[in-house]
């Protein structure tokens, strides 16, 4: 067993070192050209252009994003509802199609929420916080109602499911009502998200560090990325330890 471990390490080490070397070279190249761009004033011009663009679109961004994302989501929900009404309780493919439409509806509502939160924060920067806060609350109401309709339809399709979107313990009740296969799917999806975020955080850290060398980004954005990355690692590890202890009992 020890020989196998050593052999696997020797086999993987050269590729790992090559990846680190290539990443270091790319980082050096990006840092060099970023510094060159800073000397030429390019970064300042880009920043001023982005600032003007954000100042122009921020007053209208929340209603536009809400309409662009929730209208297709509502159409998907209506299609899923009609499909369920016409479902003969036998065709598994039709049932799978209905579930996928509901899942995409939730995805669009989540994207709308992220866009609204971003432009709500932008409103504070461009002195339109009151109007953006009102638009955010209106959009939030539409989001909650749409998510409630999706959950309600899912519960009608699966009577064993429990929980209301207005319940503070909704996630716990919903998970408790899932069977083993659904919990396994949730675990696989969570692991995939964990891997994606584990790759995204170091990439953001590198980008922000390079930007801090040529602009006044400061340490706060870097600290936020490190805190998110740390919370991810710590919570994942502690939960694995907790589940391992429960399994051993």
CB 240 within 8 A of CB 187: no
Q: Are residues 184 and 240 in the same domain?
A: yes
- Of 148, 58, 70, residue with least CA distance to 112: 70
DSSP three-state, residue 128: coil
Q: What confidence tens digit (pLDDT) does each residue in 68-118 have?
A: 999 999 999 999 999 998 887 777 788 889 999 999 999 999 999 999 999
pLDDT < 50 stretches in the chain: none
Residue whose token pair is 């560090």: 209
Q: Are residues 41 and 159 in the same domain?
A: yes
Q: How far apart are CA 124 and CA 103, in angstroms?
A: 32
Q: Tell whether 67 is covered by a domain.
A: yes
- Look up the domain containing 247 and give its range: 179-249
What is the reported pTM? 0.79
Q: Are residues 97 and 196 in the same domain?
A: no
Q: What is the reported pLDDT for 90?
A: 76
Q: Which residues contact 87 (CB under 8 A, 6 or more apart)?
A: 94, 95, 98
* CA distances in angstroms from 141 to 92, 136, 145, listed in the order given: 34, 9, 6
Q: Tell whether 153 is covered by a domain.
A: yes
Burial class (CB in 10 A: 0-12, 13-18, 19+), 77: buried
Q: Tell whether 18 is covered by a domain.
A: no
Q: Tell whether 157 is covered by a domain.
A: yes
Total of domains in the chain: 2
Q: Tell whether 7 is covered by a domain.
A: no
Q: Are residues 77 and 172 in the same domain?
A: yes
Q: How far apart are CA 147 and CA 143, in angstroms?
A: 6
CB 68 within 8 A of CB 142: no
CB 38 within 8 A of CB 215: yes
């Amino acid at each position: 067993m020890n020989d196998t471990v050593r052999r696997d390490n020797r086999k993987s080490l050269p590729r790992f070192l090559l990846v680190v070397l290539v990443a270091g070279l790319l980082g050096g190249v990006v840092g060099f050209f970023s510094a060159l761009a800073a000397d030429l004033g390019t970064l300042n011009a880009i920043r001023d252009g982005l600032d003007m663009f954000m100042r122009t679109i921020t007053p209208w961004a929340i209603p536009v994003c809400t309409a662009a994302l929730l209208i297709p989501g509502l159409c998907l929900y209506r299609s899923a509802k009609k499909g369920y009404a016409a479902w003969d309780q036998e065709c598994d493919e039709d049932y799978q199609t209905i579930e996928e439409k509901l899942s995409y509806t939730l995805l669009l509502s989540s994207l709308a929420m992220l866009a609204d939160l971003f432009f709500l924060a932008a409103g504070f920067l461009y002195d339109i916080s009151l109007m953006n806060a009102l638009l955010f609350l209106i959009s939030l109401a539409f989001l909650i109602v749409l998510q409630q309709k999706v959950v309600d339809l899912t519960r009608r399709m699966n009577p064993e499911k429990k929980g209301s979107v207005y319940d503070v313990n909704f996630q716990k009740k919903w998970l408790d009502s899932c069977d083993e296969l659904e919990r396994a799917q949730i675990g696989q999806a969570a692991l995939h998200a964990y891997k994606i975020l584990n790759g995204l955080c170091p990439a953001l850290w590198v980008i922000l560090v390079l930007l801090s060398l040529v602009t006044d980004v400061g340490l706060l954005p870097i600290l936020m990325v490190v805190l998110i990355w740390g919370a991810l690692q710590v919570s994942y590890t502690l939960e694995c330890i907790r589940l391992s202890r429960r399994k051993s009992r």
